[in-house]
Amino acid sequence: ELDIPESHPRYESLLTRHRIEAGVEKGITSKQGLIAEGRGEAFDYLLGERTLESAETAERVAAAHLLLADRPVLSVNGNVAALVPGEIGELAAATGAEIEVNLFNRTDERMAAIASHLREHGAGEVKGLDADGRIPGLEHERAKVDADGIESADVVLVPLEDGDRAEALGEMGKTEIVIDLNPLSRSAQVAAVPIVDNVLRAVPNITAHARELDEESDATLEAIIAEFDPNAALQAAEQAIRSGDLK
Ligand code: ATP
Ligand code: MG
When mean pLDDT is compared over 58-62, 101-105, 134-138, 164-168, the highest value belongs to 58-62
Task: Name, in order, each residue with C-beta under 8 angstroms of 2's C-beta and a sequence gap of 6 or more.
Answer: 14, 15, 18
Query: Is residue 75 domain-resident?
Result: yes
> By residue range, what is the domain housing residue 144?
53-243
Q: Which ligand is nearest to the CA of 35?
A: 1
Query: Is residue 180 domain-resident?
Result: yes
Q: Is 49 in the pocket of ligand 1 (CB under 6 A)?
A: no
Residue 181 alpha carbon to ligand 1 centre in Å: 7
Task: Say whether pTM exceeds 0.90.
Answer: yes
Please tell me the total count of domains within the chain. Answer: 1
Could you report the per-residue pLDDT of 210-236, keeping only the tens digit for each? 999 999 999 999 999 999 999 999 999
Q: Which ligand is nearest to the CA of 196?
A: 1
Residue 1: pLDDT band by 50, 70, 90 thresholds? low
Q: Is 187 in the pocket of ligand 1 (CB under 6 A)?
A: yes
Q: What angle do CA 126, 132, 135 make, to 5 degrees?
A: 95
Which amino acids are annotated as binding site for ATP, given as ranges? 17, 39, 180-182, 186-187, 198-199
> Closest Cα to residue 93, out of 203, 219, 191?
203
Ligand 1 atom at minimum distance from 35 CA: 10
153 contacts 72 by C-beta, under 8 angstroms: yes
Residue 119 alpha carbon to ligand 2 centre in Å: 27
Biggest CA pair distance of the chain: 48
Query: Which residue's CA is minimally distant from atom 6 of ligand 1?
Result: 162
CATH number at residue 221: 3.40.50.12640
Main-chain dihedrals φ then ψ at residue 47, nearest 5 degrees: -90, 0
Residue 33 alpha carbon to ligand 1 centre in Å: 9
98 contacts 123 by C-beta, under 8 angstroms: no
Distance of alpha carbon 44 from alpha carbon 177, whole angstroms: 19
Task: Name, in order, each residue with C-beta under 8 angstroms of 42's C-beta and a sequence gap of 6 or more.
Answer: none
> What 8-state DSSP symbol labels residue 204?
H
Above 0.90 for ipTM, yes or no? yes
Distance of alpha carbon 220 from alpha carbon 145, whole angstroms: 32
Query: Is residue 197 domain-resident?
Result: yes
Instruction: Tell me the mean pLDDT in the region 154-178.
Output: 94
pLDDT of residue 2: 72
Query: Is residue 163 domain-resident?
Result: yes
**Beta strands of the chain (E only): which ranges?**
72-76, 98-101, 126-127, 133-134, 144-145, 155-159, 175-179, 193-195
Distance of alpha carbon 169 from alpha carbon 191, whole angstroms: 10
Query: Which residue's CA is minimally distant from atom 4 of ligand 1?
Result: 163
Query: Which residue's CA is minimally distant from atom 12 of ligand 1?
Result: 162
128 contacts 165 by C-beta, under 8 angstroms: no
Could you report the per-residue pLDDT of 161-170, keeping only the tens digit for each? 889 999 999 9
Query: Is residue 16 domain-resident?
Result: no
111 contacts 103 by C-beta, under 8 angstroms: yes
Helices 230-243 and 53-68 meet at what angle, rounded to 10?
A: 150
pLDDT of residue 9: 79
Could you report the per-residue pLDDT of 81-132, keeping only the tens digit for each? 999 999 999 999 999 999 999 998 899 999 999 999 999 999 999 999 999 9
Residue 218 alpha carbon to ligand 1 centre in Å: 32
Query: Is residue 237 domain-resident?
Result: yes
Query: Is residue 37 domain-resident?
Result: no
Query: Is residue 40 domain-resident?
Result: no
> What 8-state DSSP symbol labels residue 166?
H
Q: Is 163 in the pocket of ligand 1 (CB under 6 A)?
A: yes
Q: Is 47 in the pocket of ligand 1 (CB under 6 A)?
A: no
